[in-house]
Structure 1
Amino acid sequence: MSTSVRGRIPSASRLGSSSRRGSGFAAKAVAVAALVMVPLAPGLLAADRSAAGSAGLIGIPVESLLIVLLLVIVPWRAVRRVLAGIFGAFVTAALVLTGVDRGFRATVGTPFVLVDWPQLGSAYGVVVDAVGAFSAQLILVGLLCAILACATLLAWAAMRVARMVRTRAAGRAVIAALAVVWLVAGAVAPLPTGAPLAAAAAVGSVETAVTRTESVLAAQAAVARAISEDPFADVPSTRLLAGLRGKDVVIAFVESYGRVALEGQGIAEGVTDVLRAGNSSLAAEGYTARSAWLTSPTYGGLSWLAHGTLQTGVWTPTQSSYDQLVASDRLSLSRAFGDAGWRTVSDVPSDSETWSIGSSFYRYDSLLDARGVGYRGPGFGYARIPDQFTLKHFADTELAGPHDPVMAEIDLVSSHTPWAPLPQLVPWEQIGDGSVYDPQPGQSQSAGTVWQNAKTVQRFYGQSVQYSLGSLFSFLENVDDPNLVVIVLGDHQPAAIVSGPGASHDVPISVIARDPAVFTAIDDWGWTPGLRPGGTSPVWRMDAFRDRLFTAFSERP
């Protein structure tokens, strides 16, 4: 009886052996899958083959073939470990570069360039403002852990597969056959999904990043020429901007105020209604407006590129070109106004640290930011201080009573992503120290809730633009300054989740003033009457504006 039972029940050693075989097979399968699929992932991300699904991860990655062959050939274990580590780091770096590039294209409409790596800090700052510092830190730690885990997995997988190949003749035959197939297929034998059978996605991603960086470095020579070739560099300050002498000039950038705000389905209706009401109320106050389009050098973010382009007349589509610009002596609008006798002011309510470039390059007399403006109200995400408070504080401190002519750039940031929670307009006389806004964040949906649905994001974007424009009109209606000239424009289109794929870089621009002489000077611009440019309104590149303004308002020799 006992013999019969023992014959039917496997021994403990046999069970352990079977378990080890099962776990060994699983480990081999994971290693092979990692070596095949992970190096193909950069190509899938770069090509955006969402329709191909997991089929885009089928192919023969040359990076895996080469590392396995090397690990089989090299006799020294320590060297093999180093090579496997280099392989894991290289493929992971390619995956990270492609992912960052994909994110840049989706959000700011431009590829990521290695020399522009400081922009990653700005992107992290936006995440902090959207979800909070603790959650942002958790996300960052999670990403770093995932990167480390990916590199470790690849190194382990390479060592594991190489050991299989080295100890088994069948494994060597398979690797040799795959190498022959790769060489024969090259890059011209597509799978049914359109992906090449012979793939070098990781190598291609790194090569693309390096090539793109080389192109940017080569383009710096062209930027240097544009900076140095300034037709207004030697015009005396007494002649420059003489046609605006005695005027208070405000350049108001409305964050993310792009063409989609006036033409996007489900967005344009509300914004157009605000502009229509603004036209009526400003006309009652004696104002006139003319509008057109400017093509911004940036998209979805990096607002300072647009600010630099408008102010200097130099096209700055990348961080490296902007760095080159602000290290130069190029004449900016703020510096030209300052040299001609205006008091110059920068008002950036999203800044919480001193903006050194504002003094060193733009030469502003006064730099206003989130500190020292007396705001005691609640925060509203990235745009901590509501635009209406920013404009009220500026009016009270810079335009009230007798004063020297002021030139200011004011950044209206309530329409900055993530567009939630949103402030609401309050009566001008009730703004005070901002505590009137205390209940408003709780009356709006949070950014986390809004971003669960693209349609909701678009709706909140439209409402944020309505608020920023409404704040500007509230400012114009309550400031009694017959010499006020306001140039209001967008800095760039919002991200693709709002503006859609392939959207233009066009933004609206309007000149608003009471003095008819201002519009006589720009009559040959051919801009459209009112606050809303139309389909036939002129479209200029943003770098054309500075020279046009100088030409229109400077005294002829």
Structure 2
Amino acid sequence: MKRLVILIFILNALLLALVVPGGASVPWIAIEGLVLAGLFLWLPAPWLRRGLAWGAGLLYGLSAMFVMLDTLVRASLGRPLNLYLDTSIMGASVDLLEANLGWMTTLLVFILALALCLVLASLVAGLLVRIGDLGHHVAGRHLAAGLAGMAVIGLILPVQLVGATAVRIGAVHAGEALDARQASQRFRERITTGTGGQAGDAMALAGLAETTVVLAFVESYGVSALFDERYRPMVQESLTGLEAAVEERGFHAVSGRLRSPVQGGQSWLAHGTLLSGLWIDSQQDYDALLSSQSPTLINDFQATGHQSVAVMPAITMAWPEGRALGYDRILDADAMGYLGPALNWVTMPDQYTWSRLHDTILGPSREPVFAELSLISSHAPWVPVLPVLEDWQSIGRGEVFEPWRGAGETPSSLWQDPERVRAQYARSVAYSIDVVASYLENRMDQRTLLVVLGDHQPAPLVTGEGASRDVPVHLISANPALIEPFVGTEDEPGNGLEGFRRGIWPGDQPGPAMDVLRPFLHRYFGVRGNISHP
């Protein structure tokens, strides 16, 4: 009898383990454990017990795999698993793991996850078979007394109907997948008919006709870097340095916050949202944007007379999305001409990206440029973090970074300690801001409007659960008339973007959604086009 009780206890614990990661309250008893134990105790035929046991075990293994995937998505993207949305990003997720851990380690991770599910399936099946076998060796009155005792315990202690909870959770996931599919269909219909965006058709931005505009996305630069006390001291020091550089050059700055559609990853959805003026929070919506040829800021600036350039050092394979968006020129990892060392996932440091932009695009160009930059030094795994080199002339093709080849500990070592991971995150963001400050001091000209912003918050491992999805935005220019509209003009002080204010440090007021920027530029620089240039 003692062995039987132990087996049922283990079965009970395994069943409860399925619902705890989903946020369910922790009960003491899974009713299905009692039901299954009773069923297998009374099943007469051994072959029937074994067949049903393996069926139940395989079902448990599949459930465990689903729970693990859901937990992984929550930890990395800050939301539950969505079967409709997430099937399209599995390839990108595998590529990210491979880039950070190597293909051998990535393969080992998948093998271990599959092996764990099979082991769990085998364990549950074995438990049920063993319970059935033991039941036929226990005296009737002892068996009856044991089941009656378990029933009494079930009435007294908190119980959990795991099957009902799993069905409920599954129904919620199915409903979310259906909602996401319907939302994507509505999104596709709206942009196909031209009724879905805030920004509408392409519009020449006359007020920016003589201005080079650099839109620089800093990877994982979220408001937690500024307002979470674990990161604020280090990042504040860098922002203070950026503010000093602005003042030294006689420039002007406005800062605020914008809400990103994503957290932890899928940066291209944030890029697409800001460029298009459409809220894009799924791969399906992004694909719809590309296939629709809906206009974006790229088209707006081309209509204004700008050369449009995408500087994408993380793009290491073919990028048909860039061609679909219609850039005049794309600098991917190969076109960047970098000869220095890769830094784990980071193909090249931010300082090289800025240097290449200036030497290849901005310096030689005789026409205004609209450049979108993807700055990746603050991308996980956040090791190593380089110093900012004072001599920009020495950067060349990146050979100057050779001393940092293989520098720092390995990501697999660092990521064993969450506290050190968080410290490295703060250091990497500080580096990215320091590079902006140095570029402003040494390279930025008087006719550039620099827009520096985050693409999204880092994963919940860094921010904690329930963090804001806002990202900081900094607008810097030598011409105050270019940034004045963001805080409101003297004639219209209330018409700026909500929460934006002068200076480098944004306030703690939540910002508007990221898709407001394009219609805002239309309103103040397109229709009016009344910005004078010094």
> What's the TM-score once normalised by structure 1's chain length?
0.82
SS of residue matched to 1:96: helix
- Give the alignment of 1:421-432 within 5 angstroms: 421-426=384-389, 427-432=391-396
Aligned residue number for residue 41 of structure 1:
17
Aligned residue number for residue 113 of structure 2:
143
String of CA shifts for 1:72-130, please: whole Å, max 9, x gaps: 669794x7666444422322222222222222222221111012123343333333333
Shift of 1:233: 6.9
Aligned residue number for residue 121 of structure 1:
91
Residue 99, structure 1, aligned to residue 65, structure 2? no
- Could you say what the CA RMSD is over the residues aligned between the two structures, in angstroms? 3.3
Structure 2 distance, partners of 1:247, 1:416, is 30
Comparing 320-329 and 89-98, the one that deviates more:
320-329
Of the three residues 519, 525, 528, the one matched with 1:547 is: 519
Aligned residue number for residue 532 of structure 2:
none
Aligned residue number for residue 307 of structure 2:
343
Residue 534, structure 1, aligned to residue 515, structure 2? no
Residue 161, structure 1, aligned to residue 131, structure 2? yes
Structure 2 distance, partners of 1:64, 1:388, is 63
String of CA shifts for 1:504-524, please: whole Å, max 9, x gaps: 111101111222331244433
Shift of 1:293: 0.6
| Pair 1:174–1:123, CA change in 2 (3 A) | farther
Aligned residue number for residue 436 of structure 1:
400
Structure 2 distance, partners of 1:271, 1:510, is 14
- Give the alignment of 1:252-267 within 5 angstroms: 252-267=216-231
Residue 104 of structure 2 aligns with an amino acid whose one-letter code is: F
Of the three residues 337, 359, 367, the one matched with 1:396 is: 359
Aligned residue number for residue 478 of structure 1:
442
String of CA shifts for 1:439-465, please: whole Å, max 9, x gaps: 225553443443343332222111111
Residue 367, structure 1, aligned to residue 330, structure 2? yes
Residue 525, structure 1, aligned to residue 491, structure 2? no
CA contact (8 A) 1:259 1:508 kept: yes
Residue 88 of structure 1 aligns with an amino acid whose one-letter code is: G
- Give the alignment of 1:32-431 within 5 angstroms: 32-33=8-9, 35-47=11-23, 56=26, 58-62=28-32, 65=35, 69=39, 77=47, 83-115=52-84, 116-165=86-135, 170=140, 191=158, 196-200=159-163, 201-224=165-188, 227=191, 228-230=194-196, 235=201, 237=202, 239-360=203-324, 362-426=325-389, 427-431=391-395
| Pair 1:152–1:118, CA change in 2 (3 A) | farther
Aligned residue number for residue 491 of structure 2:
none
Residue 451 of structure 1 aligns with an amino acid whose one-letter code is: W
CA contact (8 A) 2:311 2:372 kept: yes
Structure 1 distance, partners of 2:269, 2:408, is 31
Structure 1 distance, partners of 2:120, 2:468, is 37
Aligned residue number for residue 9 of structure 1:
none
Shift of 1:230: 4.3
Number of matched residues?
514
Aligned residue number for residue 14 of structure 1:
none
CA contact (8 A) 2:245 2:440 kept: no
CA contact (8 A) 1:34 1:153 kept: no
Residue 502 of structure 2 aligns with an amino acid whose one-letter code is: P
Residue 389 of structure 1 aligns with an amino acid whose one-letter code is: Y
String of CA shifts for 1:225-262, please: whole Å, max 9, x gaps: 65442467764x5x531211132211111011111111
Shift of 1:175: 9.9
CA contact (8 A) 2:255 2:473 kept: yes
Structure 1 distance, partners of 2:363, 2:254, is 26
CA contact (8 A) 2:267 2:455 kept: yes
Residue 457 of structure 2 aligns with an amino acid whose one-letter code is: Q
String of CA shifts for 1:44-71, please: whole Å, max 9, x gaps: 111276xxxxxx4741342783597489
SS of residue matched to 2:335: coil
| Pair 1:288–1:533, CA change in 2 (3 A) | same
| Pair 1:107–1:176, CA change in 2 (3 A) | same
Structure 2 distance, partners of 1:355, 1:429, is 31
Structure 1 distance, partners of 2:157, 2:181, is 34
Residue 143 of structure 1 aligns with an amino acid whose one-letter code is: A
Structure 2 distance, partners of 1:307, 1:521, is 22
Comparing 60-69 and 395-404, the one that deviates more:
60-69
Structure 2 distance, partners of 1:74, 1:308, is 62
| Pair 1:68–1:128, CA change in 2 (3 A) | farther
Instruction: Return 5+ residue gaps in structure 1 as ranges.
Output: 1-23, 50-55
Structure 1 distance, partners of 2:269, 2:300, is 19
Instruction: Return 5+ residue gaps in structure 2 as ranges.
Output: 489-494, 530-534
SS of residue matched to 1:210: helix
Shift of 1:280: 2.0
Structure 2 distance, partners of 1:136, 1:382, is 14
| Pair 1:210–1:73, CA change in 2 (3 A) | farther
Comparing 422-431 and 479-488, the one that deviates more:
479-488
Structure 1 distance, partners of 2:157, 2:367, is 70
String of CA shifts for 1:491-550, please: whole Å, max 9, x gaps: 1112223222321111101111222331244433162112221235x7211122221122
SS of residue matched to 2:440: helix
Aligned residue number for residue 422 of structure 2:
458
SS of residue matched to 1:43: coil
Shift of 1:356: 1.4
Of the three residues 493, 499, 504, the one matched with 2:468 is: 504
CA contact (8 A) 1:97 1:205 kept: no
Structure 2 distance, partners of 1:322, 1:203, is 31
SS of residue matched to 1:438: helix
Structure 2 distance, partners of 1:385, 1:48, is 43
SS of residue matched to 1:383: coil
Shift of 1:133: 2.7
Tell me which structure has the larger Cα radius of gyration.
Answer: 1
Structure 1 distance, partners of 2:57, 2:172, is 19
Shift of 1:376: 1.6
Q: Percent identity?
A: 31
Shift of 1:176: 7.5
